[in-house]
Amino acid sequence: MEKKLYLYKAFVKEVYDGDTITVDIDLGLKTFVHNEKVRLYGINAPELKGDEREKGLMARDYLRTLILQKDILLETIKDEREKYGRYLGIIWINKMGREYTNVNQLLVKEGLAIEKKY
């Protein structure tokens, strides 16, 4: 079955780690979802605990510089939550009016996350 993708405007309120964020989502028609946790789809960043801590902090801090307290486009994989109840999403940013950048893939390209299939 083909996955249904939806695109929303969102505001990033918190970056927990390199692959988990909290956003306020604009659903349109003056309807908002606040404080929704989103897992970045298709990637896995190092954890903030244990042996991966240093790399995990680097991934989190890099992601914060890109999206924290900023507007983004959130592409969700509709009706598919992962085991912790978070929606799965792809983050898109627009830098200075240029084409949109896929943040999930950027983290992989920068060596701060690996690709992960669900």
Residue pair 106/56 in contact by the 8 Å Cβ criterion: no
Q: Which amino acid is at 95?
A: K
Give the pLDDT of residue 85: 87
CB distance 38 to 24 below 8 Å: no
Predicted confidence (pLDDT) at residue 1 exceeds the cutoff of 50? no
Supply the pTM of this predicted model: 0.90
- Structure confidence by residue, pLDDT tens digits, 14-62: 999 999 999 999 999 999 999 999 999 999 999 999 999 999 999 999 9
- Whole-Å CA distances, 117 to 43, 46, 53, 79, 114: 8, 16, 23, 17, 10
Q: Worst-scoring range by mean pLDDT, 1-5, 47-51, 101-105, 106-110?
A: 1-5
Banded pLDDT at 64 (limits 50, 70, 90): very high
Model confidence at 84, pLDDT cuts 50, 70, 90, reads confident
The residue extents of the domains of the chain are 5-115
Convert 50-80 to b/e letters by CB count within 10 Å (16 or more is b): eeeeebbebbbebbbebbeeeebbbbbbeee
Q: Which residues pair with 27 in a beta bridge?
A: none
Architecture of domain 5-115: Beta Barrel (2.40)
- Alpha carbon distances (Å) from 13 to 2, 37, 98, 110: 31, 10, 24, 23
